[in-house]
Chain A
Amino acid sequence: MMDTYANPWAYRAQWAYLLIIVGALMAPVFYTIYISFNEHGFGAQIYDFTWDWYVVLFRNQQIIDSLSWTAYLGAATILTAVPMGLIAAKYYKRTRHKVVFVTLMLSPLFVPADILGSALLVYFKNLNRAFEWLGDSLGVTWFYGWFELGFFTALVGLILWTVPYAFVVILITMSRYRVQQTEAARSCGATAWQAFWQIEFPQIRVGVFSASAFVFILSFNEYTRTSLLKGGFDTFTTVLISHMFNTGMSGDSYAMGGLVSVISMAVIGAVLVYTLAKAERLEREARAKAEPVAA
Chain B
Amino acid sequence: MSQNADNAVEVIDLSKNYGPVAALKEVSFSIESGKYFVLLGPSGGGKTTLLRLIGGFIKPSAGTVLLHGRDVTDLAPNERPTSMVFQSYALFPHMSVAKNVGYGLKLRRMRKAELDERVEEMLAMVGLEGYGARMPHELSGGQQQRVQLARSLVLQSDVLLLDEPLAALDAKLRKDMCLELKRIQEKVGITFIHVTHNQEEAMTVADRIAIVAGGELVEQGAPRDVYERPVRRFTADFIGENNLFDGRVTKTGGNAATVDLDFATVQALNGNGLAAGQAVALSIRSELLGLLTPADAENGGLQTIPAEYLEEVYLGLTTSHLVRLPNGQEIMVRTLSNGEAAATFEPGQTVTVGWKTEAARLHPD
Whether a CB of chain A sits under 8 angstroms from the CB of B130 is yes
Interface of B is mostly: loop
* B133 close to chain A: CB less than 8 A: yes
Across the interface, do B78 and A183 meet the contact criterion of CB distance under 8 Å? no
List the B residue with the shortest CB-CB distance to A184: B90
Question: Which of A18-26, A126-134, A189-197, A267-275 makes up part of the contact surface?
Answer: A189-197
Hey, which chain A residues are within 8 Å of B78, CB to CB? 186-191
Closest to A295 in B: B130
Whether B96 is near chain A, meaning CB under 8 Å from some CB there, is yes
Query: Closest CB-CB distance, B104 to chain A, in whole Å?
Result: 3
CA gap between A294 and B129 in the complex, in Å: 10
User: Which of chain B's residues has its CB closest to A180's CB?
Assistant: B90
CB distance B133 to A187 under 8 Å? no
A185 to B104, CA, bound (A): 8
Q: Which residues of A sit under 8 angstroms from B152, Cβ to Cβ?
A: 187-188
B103-117: contact bitstring with A at CB < 8 Å (1 yes, 0 no)? 110011000000000
Contact segment of A106-114, A152-160, A285-293: A285-293
What is the 8 Å Cβ interface bit string for chain A, positions 165-202, against chain B (1 contact, 0 not)?
A: 00000000000111011011111111110100011001
Contacting A at CB under 8 A, from B92-134, are 92-94, 96, 103-104, 107-108, 130-131, 133-134
Shortest beta-carbon distance, B194 to chain A, in Å? 15
Enumerate chain A residues within 8 angstroms of B104, measured Cβ to Cβ: 188-189
Please, which residue of chain B has its CB at the minimum distance from the CB of A187?
B84
**Interface size (B, Cβ < 8 Å)?**
33
The one of B55, B94, B108 in contact with A187, judged by C-beta atoms closer than 8 angstroms, is B55
Name which residue of chain A comes closest to B103, CB basis: A188
| A31 and B103 alpha carbons, distance in the complex (Å) | 55
Quick check: B103 and A181 within 8 Å, CB to CB? Answer: no
Closest chain A residue to B134, Cβ basis: A289
The reply on B191 being an interface residue by CB < 8 A is: no
User: How many residues in A have their beta carbons less than 8 Å from beta carbons of B?
Assistant: 27
Contact B77–A187 (Cβ < 8 Å): yes
> CA–CA, A186 to B92, complex, Å?
12
Contact A181 B91 (CB under 8 A): yes
Do residues A180 and B130 form an inter-chain contact, with CB atoms below 8 A?
no
Indicate if A203 sits at the interface (CB-CB under 8 A).
yes
Q: Nearest-CB distance from B303 to chain A (Å)?
A: 51
Interface flags for A128-155 (1: CB within 8 Å of B; 0: not) read 0000000000000000000000000000
Chain B, 70-95, contact with A by CB distance < 8 Å: what is the 0/1 string? 00000011100011101011111110
Q: Is the CB of B90 within 8 A of A294?
A: no
Query: Is A180 a contact of B77 with CB atoms below 8 Å?
Result: no
Which listed residue (A185, A194, A285, A290) contacts B92, Cβ 8 A?
A185
With A180-B86, A188-B151, A290-B138 known, 15 other A-B pairs at CB within 8 A are A177-B93, A178-B90, A180-B89, A181-B89, A184-B91, A184-B151, A185-B92, A187-B55, A187-B84, A188-B83, A188-B155, A191-B78, A192-B76, A285-B135, A289-B96
Q: Offer 12 A-B interface pairs, CB within 8 angstroms, sorted by A.
A: A178-B89, A180-B88, A184-B84, A184-B148, A184-B151, A185-B103, A188-B103, A189-B107, A189-B108, A190-B78, A190-B103, A191-B76
> Which residues of B come within 8 Å of A, CB atoms?
55, 57, 76-78, 82-84, 86, 88-94, 96, 103-104, 107-108, 130-131, 133-135, 137-138, 148, 151-152, 155, 161
Q: Mark A residues whose CB is within 8 Å of B.
A: 176-178, 180-181, 183-192, 194, 198-199, 202-203, 285-286, 289-290, 293-295
